Amino acid sequence: MATQTESQYSRYKEEFSSFLTDTWIGYAFVIPATVLLAVVIGYPTLRGLYLAFFEVSLLNPEQMEFVGLQHFRALAADPIFKAALWHTVLLTALAVSFQYLLGLGLALALKEKVPGAGIFRSLSMVTWVMPIIVMVIIFRFMVQNGFGPVNIILDSLGMRTTYWFGEPGVAFPLIVVMHVWRNVPFYAISLLAAMNSIPKEQYEAARLDGAGPLERFRYVTLPQISYVSMIMIVLHVTFTFKNFDIVYLSTGGGPLGNTEVLATYVYKQAFEQYALGYGASIGVVMLILMLTFTIVYVKLEEVD
């Protein structure tokens, strides 16, 4: 009797200590990544959020004056901020819509079993792989006045030529085109993978029920790619919304502030106007908008 409880006790002890060591080893393995992220991303983020409530200059970052919500009140009256917010929302909405529709189209075309489809599939990712600065150089080169291929063609058609990134009304659509150009292949490849994982029998069953190609797409394909679609859309809404270098490197926010977005406005406030606190408050607004979007979208998708 006594020996039995003793052995039971020692078994519990063994399990408990193995639970403890396993837990500690688990922590030990995850610590390097966690510490790196906490120090290099976590700390600056908290610091950035904190700065939004202070008046502080890049020239003398030690001297801080608490101003409460004053920056946020100033934002509400800042016409450049309001324009940048509108451009950011419009850019995100247009870019992601076109990316999704064109990506879906490309996925459907790549799904067809024509000879050579594999080559097309591999080639498609080139625009997504290259550095953003190279993409911007390509587009700026294309629309150079006098020798850019787009203008050479326009000229031969007897149309107006100019450096199109410098043209109000054209610069903004060009930024949308760059976002679409870069990311359509990634949508296509991801949606294609989702489509290929749909069992063939479901299409056969729908066909037997008399569903045409459009109905099969609507009732078999669409519902089964909705999860990947959600991932793609959330990923690219946040990417487009916070993206800095596509606008900064191509137009710098010009011409005449026509393409100014929130990210470039934060950068200019902080690094050109030295207004760290004001810049940080714009960053806080960006973060709040993105979090709200993500939470609402994911919740809506769950309800479906």
Partner 1 sequence: MATSTDPEDRNLSQRIDAWLDEDMSPRRAIGVYLVLGLYFAFLLLPVVYMVLASFTSQSFLFSPELVPALGDLTLANYETVLSRGDFRTYFYNSMIVATSTTLLVLTVGILAGYSMSRFDYPGRGGLLYAFLSTQMLPIVLILIPFYILMFSLNLVDSLLGIVIAHSVIGIPLGTWLLKGYIDDIPESLDEAAKMDGCSHLSVLRRVIVPLAMPGIAVAGFYTFILSWNDYLLVSVLSQTAGTRTLPFGLQLFQSQNAVAWNLLITAAVITMAPVILLFAVAQRWVVEGLASGGMKGN
Q: Which residue has tokens 């450049």?
A: 80
Cα distance between residue 267 and residue 146, in whole Å? 33
Q: How near is the Cβ of 262 to partner 1 at its closest, in Å?
A: 8
Nearer CB in complex with partner 1: 9/19? 19
Q: Which is nearer to partner 1, 139 or 172 (CB)?
A: 139
Residue 275, judged by CB atoms within 10 A of its CB (0-12, 13-18, 19+), counts as buried
* C-alpha–C-alpha distance, residues 124 and 107, integer Å: 11
d(CA 81, CA 282): 8
Q: How far apart are CA 284 and CA 163, in angstroms?
A: 35
Q: Which two tokens stand for residue 102?
A: 């064109």
Rounded to a whole number of angstroms, the minimum distance from the CB of residue 28 to partner 1 is 8
Between 220 and 262, whose beta carbon lies closer to partner 1? 262
DSSP letters for 287-298: HHHHHHHHHHHH
Nearest-approach distance from CB 193 to partner 1, in angstroms:
3
**Closest Cα to residue 262, out of 50, 57, 83, 78?**
83
Measured from the CB atom, the residue of 138 and 256 that comes closer to partner 1 is 138
Query: For residues 6 and 134, which CB has a smaller minimum distance to partner 1 in the complex?
Result: 134
Q: Closer to partner 1 at the Cβ: 151 or 258?
A: 151
Rounded CA gap, 277 and 84, in Å? Answer: 18
